[in-house]
Chains A and B, each alone.
Chain A
Amino acid sequence: QLQLQESGPGNVKSSETLSLTCTVSGGSLSSGTYYWGWIRQSPGKGLEWIGNIFYSGSTTFNPSLKSRVTMSVDTSKNQFSLKLSSVTAADTAVYYCARQGLGVLNFFDYWGQGTPVTVSS
C-alpha cells in the first residue's frame, strides 16, 4: 500500500522560506508513471494546487505561486521536496503531498495526512 508522509517545520517566520519533504513508501517515486504534487489548504478554505514534479525533475507550477516555488526530487531516498520563498501569513495552511497520474489520469489518488504550517511575524 502506497503511503506518503510530509515532514518539516510547523512554524516559519514571515519573509523566510518554507521547506517541506514528502517521503514515499510502499512504491517507487521513480516508476515514471506518476507526477508527485503538493496541494495546500488554508484554514477554513478550499484546496489549492501548488505544483507537480516528475521523477526526472521536470516541474509544473501554479502560475500564481510560480515565482516563489521550487521543487526537487531525491529518488535515492524516495523523497520529493517543496520550497516556498518569501512567505507571508497568507501561506499559513495545511500542506499535503499527493500522487497524480499522467495524461487523462490527472487525479490525485494517494495523499499524505498533511502537515500544518503557520507563518508568523
Chain B
Amino acid sequence: QSVLTQPPSVSGSPGQRVTISCTGSHSNFGANYDVHWYQQLPGTAPKLLIYNDVNRPSGVPARFSGSRSGTSASLAISGLQAEDEADYYCQSYDINLGRVFGAGTKVTVL
C-alpha cells in the first residue's frame, strides 16, 4: 500500500478536463514537501511532467497543471488528447520513508 494514494483509473473524452488526486499525510505533504508528477507511456520510462507542485519542465504542454493544498495534491489535464493516455504517478518526500511514489493512475481517453 502506497503512502501516497491515487485513484487506480480516470477516464474522459477528448477535449474534456480530468483530474487525478494524490492524497498524502502529515509526514509528506503535511510536512510541506512538494509533489512531483510523472507520465509513463506504455513500454517507456517515466517522464517528469510537473515539479514542485505547479511547474512544468520545458516541452510539457500547458494543458497539464498541478496544485497542492494541505495533505492533498492534484494533476489536471485540460483538453484531453488521445496521446495523454498513460499512467500518471505522484511523488514526494516522506520524513519516515524517503522518496515515495503513489501507486499510479491510468488515464483512458474514451
Contact = CB atoms under 8 A, between A and B. Distances in A.
B20 to A, nearest CB: 13
A92 interface: no
A96 B104 contact: no
B102 A60 contact: no
Interface stretch (B10-18, B74-82, B91-99): B91-99
Main DSSP-derived SS at the A contact region: strand
A107 B99 CA distance: 9
Interface residues of A, number: 24
B29 interface: no
A46 B45 contact: no
B14 to A, nearest CB: 26
Interface of B: 2, 33-34, 36, 38, 44-48, 51-52, 57, 89, 91, 93, 96-104
10 contacts: A37-B99, A49-B99, A49-B101, A62-B98, A63-B98, A100-B99, A104-B52, A107-B36, A107-B91, A113-B44
